[in-house]
Amino acid sequence: MKKVLALIECPDHVCYRYRIAAFAPAMAERGFALQAVPLRRGVLARSAQLLAARRADVTVLQRKLLAVAHVRLLRRFAPRLVYDVDDAVFQRDSYHRKGPHSRKLRVRFRAAVAAADAVIAGNDYLRERVAEHTDPARTHVIPTCVDPGRYEVAAHRRLGNEVRLAWIGSSSTLQGLNMAGPWLAAVARRCPGLELRLICDRSVELPGLRVVLRPWSSDTEAEELAAADIGISWLPDDEFSRGKCGLKVLQYMAAGLPVVANPVGVHPQMVVHGGSGLLASTPNEWADAVVRLAADPVLRARMGRDGRNRVEQHYSVERWGPQFADLLPRGGRFRLVWTARNGK
């Protein structure tokens, strides 16, 4: 069996679980065994890990922006190198105190992209950014995917302010929920006492909403979503958000929840307005959307079915696993000539 070496953040990281580990069965069907190796800190420890690429048939570097010298080392020893990116890692995030632009991140991103035989981008915006630094023919879009079979479907029996909103994510993304305060406050004014089921490792306080923390676990996340009625997602309208791949929205739809989201980034691609959910740009529009859905369980169930079908057809592991696996052995090794443009 051929070996795929995945150089990752950690085995529990959401990106590895949904973008590489989920496709392990498809890899196995094509004769590839997956081995995940969390990258260590420190020059010597990490260098030793990169040298291990010579014993793999394919190396997948996920998200990490290595020092240029480490990219060169990896390129030298990896028979085939694939770079997977599902975030705008070439800039700082939306909430960084120094602002979005970072020369160090841009240089490292350019080096990783230019060195790879193939680059897998999580959405079209990321593909366009990747194509600025490599042959577009080596760039492929594979969205973040979920397995709908893991998710129970919400029952949709509650009405009015008994309805439960759901938000799922890690504590590192809670800043976005806090920034959505005006939108959520407008909802709270229209639906006093409304519950927000927060599926996370840390809680927040949101004026007017009853926040119920449901500690996140990979074993219980699907069950927690099915116990809610409406999934919510909000992104700041900036370049970093355009690199997001919409995992929480896909999870909501897999669980049969209608989605209320603002029309930023991949939201308009995933959420069909009036079909699988409602897109709302202002606090008042958000309040209108939630009030409408809270009053109509039949509408919620219909939108939930539409969302589930959309995931099954366009964002499922079954749909994209074979394409991911087929990219691994495609073509030969790309011979990189290092220039001032791509690293120095």
Per-residue pLDDT, 119: 97
Look at residue 277 and tell me whether its pLDDT is greater than 70: yes
- On whether residue 340 sits in a domain, the answer given is no
Look at residue 132 and tell me whether its pLDDT is greater than 60: yes
- On whether residue 94 sits in a domain, the answer given is yes
Per DSSP, what are the bridge partners of residue 37?
Answer: 7
Whole-Å CA distances, 215 to 53, 175, 201, 292 = 37, 18, 5, 29
Q: Are residues 295 and 185 in the same domain?
A: yes
Q: Are residues 118 and 161 in the same domain?
A: no
- On whether residue 43 sits in a domain, the answer given is yes
Q: Are residues 117 and 157 in the same domain?
A: no
Structural domain range at position 259: 148-315
Q: Are residues 76 and 187 in the same domain?
A: no
Sign of CA dihedral 91, 94, 95, 100: positive
In this prediction, residue 137 has a pLDDT band, given cuts at 50, 70 and 90, of very high
- On whether residue 337 sits in a domain, the answer given is no
User: Helices in the chain by DSSP H: which ranges?
Assistant: 14-19, 24-29, 43-51, 68-77, 103-115, 124-131, 174-179, 181-190, 221-226, 239-242, 247-254, 267-270, 283-294, 297-314, 317-327
Cβ(225)–Cβ(255) under 8 Å?
yes
Q: Are residues 251 and 226 in the same domain?
A: yes
Look at residue 297 and tell me whether its pLDDT is greater than 90: yes
Sign of CA dihedral 32, 84, 332, 111: negative
Q: Are residues 136 and 204 in the same domain?
A: no
Q: Are residues 206 and 165 in the same domain?
A: yes
Q: For the residues 305-315, what does the mean pLDDT come to?
A: 98
In this prediction, residue 343 has a pLDDT band, given cuts at 50, 70 and 90, of very low
* pLDDT tens column, 168-219: 998 888 888 999 999 999 999 999 989 999 999 999 999 889 999 999 999 9
- On whether residue 210 sits in a domain, the answer given is yes
Sign of CA dihedral 282, 263, 242, 239: negative
Range with lowest mean pLDDT among 12-16, 26-30, 55-59, 328-332: 328-332
Percentage of the chain modeled with pLDDT above 70: 96
* pLDDT tens column, 174-185: 888 999 999 999
Domain count, the chain: 2
Q: Are residues 26 and 131 in the same domain?
A: yes
Per-residue pLDDT, 43: 86
Look at residue 230 and tell me whether its pLDDT is greater than 50: yes
pTM: 0.93
Q: For the residues 299-322, what does the mean pLDDT come to?
A: 98
Q: Are residues 323 and 293 in the same domain?
A: no
- On whether residue 335 sits in a domain, the answer given is no
DSSP 17: H
Q: Are residues 156 and 104 in the same domain?
A: no
Per-residue pLDDT, 336: 41
Per-residue pLDDT, 172: 82
Q: Are residues 140 and 152 in the same domain?
A: no
Cα separation, 302 vs 1, in Å, equals 45
Cβ(234)–Cβ(180) under 8 Å?
yes
Q: Are residues 155 and 251 in the same domain?
A: yes
* pLDDT tens column, 239-271: 999 999 999 999 999 999 999 999 999 999 999
Q: What CATH number does the domain containing 126 carry?
A: 3.40.50.2000
* pLDDT tens column, 87-131: 999 999 998 889 999 999 999 999 999 999 999 999 999 999 999
- On whether residue 339 sits in a domain, the answer given is no
Cα separation, 51 vs 202, in Å, equals 38
Residue-wise DSSP of 185-246: HHHHHHSTT-EEEEEESS----TTSEEEEEE--TTTHHHHHHT-SEEEE---SSHHHHT---
- On whether residue 344 sits in a domain, the answer given is no
